[in-house]
Chain A
Amino acid sequence: MSQPTPANVEPIVNDDLAAMDVVPTTLGDPTGPSKGRVTVVHLYPREMSIYGDLGNTRCLEARLRWHGYEPNVISHNPGDDFPDDAHLVVGGGGQDSGQVRVEADLEKIGPELKELAEDGVPMLMICGMYQLFGKAFITVDGKTLPGLGILDVTTRGNEKRMIGPVVLSTEFGDVVGYENHSGSTVLGEGQEAFGSVRSGFGNNGEDGHEGARTNNVVGSYLHGPILPANPHLADWLIARAVEKALAQPFEPGEIDDRFADQARERQVRRLTKS
């Protein structure tokens, strides 16, 4: 699936749903010489990318290019071999039927994902994939389904749905997004949250935590999609991926983030009183 390519920047257009037909020039300049190639793997784009989560991959692909790197976006579908050069792994939310379709494959590639996570490969897992990256999911009727256990969180099926816009404080600054989940997630002892809730429900609507973070793996319920309006998070993931891919520090390019900053700051102002 992944082939060696020359070092100069050639737009990669493929059949992947996550791939762009052109690299936009609206917010940055994609034409400079390549600083190196970074492989982004999107897990199950068909089954687990409802609510615009493909936008995260689109955002990473464009920003990599604007920062001067060469993105190589790969869709991992059930039954595929997991690519051996993944530098950044992204997953999204899905319907229950989507989750059922990916379970067997996820179990198969689980050990590889675990190893990559321990090795410091950055990952962003949203909503359904966040739950599947946890230790367990307990259904409404009390059945326990094991997860990958990369994040020490346990999710309990719920009658009530937690829906609405969200504002978080995180170590990446304010983060805005939109949650829509019925699972109620609790952090294990010592498990770090991704952020603390300033507006919205978060993991369970009770303890003020949202998401989870271990090493460079971030799990969160936030759609939006999360990355375009929170480019500081996107760039943090990219920086970690560049370090993995090239064993060199990340050298950012110039990106015009004024739309993103306005979009985010306006949501923060609308949704928080202070």
Chain B
Amino acid sequence: MLRTTAAVLAGKSARVATRLRGGGSALPGLVVEKVDPKFLATALADLPKGVVVVTGTNGKTTTTKMLVALLRAHGLKVFTNPTGSNFTRGVISSVLGEVSLRGTIDADIAVLELDEAHALHFAKVVKPTHALLLNVARDQLDRFAEIDYTAKLLRQLAEQTTEGVVLNRDDSFVARIESTLKPNVEVSYFGVDETIAERLGELMEQDVRSDDDFVQPLVSSGDGLLLPIDDRKFLVTFADRADGSANVGPMQVRQHGLAAMINATAATSMARRLLGDDFLPATAVSALEAVQPPFGRGEVIDVDGQELELVLVKNPAGFTVALSTYGGRPVASMVAINDNYADGRDVSWLYDVNFASLRERGVELTSGVRAYDMALRLAYDGVEVRHVEPELTSALDTFLAEHPNEPKRIFCTYTAMMALRRTLAERYDLPDIGEDAPE
């Protein structure tokens, strides 16, 4: 106990110090980890409704936000890591904000977004009661190297989970995990209705999967399926009541696109599993419809009366989703590609994205450290690039000046987005990163 109290105090002061410096969220976590490696286990051990981990390559942040909103709308006190700081140390940092000196937190349940590799590291310290496993795609190959390896990480995490897992039945790497779980772990699935199954191609790279022998699991009663009604409206259907009274929706979430609908389906399926009979479809609809897109996932900034959309792109599947989401509404576009560690240092993946949907309008500018590589990539897809300006602020200035009276969109990698957003925040009134704009 003494050791935990010392760890809490050390961590809290590091957290304050980091905040004052305006620094990142991992340092205080590092301090606590050194002082008391069991800190997390102590803090999260006695939560009455358990610890839920959300992981997978794409959609973690959005899905976590949605799941938290669903549980809070049903009256639960939820602890989460809202800063997108999805490594273990980031989670410790979040816990420090809410922990008592005894090292416990006052919540019914924890919902944690974790990076795939760190989810497993986390599970060595805290066994999750539930895991929501979204998908496997190539991402930041510098860290994970290979997709098979990522799939293995998710499998191992699922095997550490004590009560229930919710799996993506449309992602063969994830759906297959079912076969190796302990018999007392309850398994259910989320996925898309068979009527729109062919649209899944929009979300996945095709060239890395070899699934000839994959048989999709049958739909059973606890499984949530996405059934779109139109471009924006959709239902999440549950087959366990024949009259459809278990269905959630029709509803419309604030983020556009199929990926956001699937994330809502995943979150709804997990919320229903956690809440059981307490789950109320109407409450779920109003909760999901109120969720703001997280930072970088379709954030819209008002620039002199026109919308400027910042879209984070970090891997082929994500960029493909972004293009298919916005392809129907072509606007003036800029693409900013950096190759720092947080961006993924290898830009080869840009050749696994099809940019044909940008052909009609062309691209106004490419920017970032790899501006010329991006311009070259677009040229090979027949997309005209009007300017190349590696320096981000100059590029932004040109982009805004040349397109004053129309909506604009910037596709950017992580550090390019951070830099652009910093510049925009100096000029326009923007909420802090990690916080939501006021309702």
Contacts and interface: CB of A to CB of B under 8 A. Distances in A.
Contacts of A62: 380
Interface string A39-63: 0000001110111111100110010
Nearest to A163: B142
Given A180-B346, A224-B348, A58 B380 contact: yes
B249 to A, nearest CB: 35
Nearest to B366: A259
Interface string B371-391: 011011111111111001010
A23 to B, nearest CB: 8
Interface in A202-260: 223-225, 228-229, 259-260
A50 B346 contact: no
Given A229-B376, A262-B388, A266-B372, A178 B382 contact: no
B322 to A, nearest CB: 18
Given A21-B356, A263-B376, A54 B383 contact: no
B345 interface: yes
B78 to A, nearest CB: 38
Nearest to A165: B345
A244 to B, nearest CB: 24
B314 to A, nearest CB: 15
B402 interface: no
A52 B370 contact: no
Interface stretch (A90-98, A133-141, A145-153): A90-98
Interface in B378-434: 378-385, 388, 390
Given A26-B384, A51-B348, A229 B207 contact: no
Given A51-B346, A178-B346, A259 B375 contact: yes
Given A22-B382, A95-B147, A161-B145, A263 B373 contact: yes
B380 A24 contact: yes
A164 interface: yes
Given A49-B207, A54-B207, A95-B147, A228 B348 contact: no
A25 B378 CA distance: 11
Contact of A95 (B146, B379, B381): B146
A7 interface: no
Given A50-B138, A95-B147, A262-B372, A17 B348 contact: no
Interface in B116-173: 138, 141-142, 145-148
A264 B349 CA distance: 17
Given A24-B381, A52-B352, A55-B351, A260 B207 contact: no
A47 B382 contact: no
Interface residues of A, number: 43
A27 interface: yes
Interface in B22-60: none
B184 interface: no
Interface in B272-331: none
Interface string B340-355: 0000011111111000
Given A259-B388, A263-B372, A59 B346 contact: no
A26 B379 contact: yes
A99 B283 CA distance: 50
B15 to A, nearest CB: 33
Contacts of A108: none
A32 B311 CA distance: 39
Contacts, number: 108
Contact of B148 (A24, A25, A59, A95): A95
Contacts of B207: 17, 45-46, 49-50, 54
B383 A96 contact: no
Nearest to B359: A22
A51 B383 contact: no
A256 B376 CA distance: 10
B180 interface: no
A260 B385 CA distance: 13
Contacts of A51: 141, 346, 348-349
A259 B372 contact: yes
A52 B351 contact: yes
Given A161-B145, A178-B347, A228 B376 contact: yes
A21 B385 CA distance: 19
A150 to B, nearest CB: 24
A178 B210 CA distance: 25
30 contacts: A17-B207, A21-B356, A24-B381, A24-B383, A25-B382, A26-B380, A27-B379, A46-B210, A47-B210, A49-B207, A50-B207, A50-B208, A51-B141, A52-B349, A53-B348, A54-B351, A55-B348, A55-B351, A96-B146, A163-B145, A178-B347, A178-B348, A228-B351, A228-B377, A229-B376, A259-B388, A260-B376, A262-B372, A263-B370, A263-B373
Interface of B: 138, 141-142, 145-148, 206-208, 210, 339, 345-352, 356, 370, 372-373, 375-385, 388, 390
Given A46-B207, A161-B145, 19 more contacts: A20-B381, A24-B383, A26-B384, A47-B210, A55-B380, A58-B380, A59-B380, A95-B208, A96-B148, A97-B148, A97-B210, A178-B345, A228-B351, A228-B377, A229-B373, A229-B376, A259-B376, A259-B379, A263-B372
By Cβ-Cβ distance, the 4 closest A-B pairs, closest first, are A55-B351, A24-B382, A52-B351, A52-B348
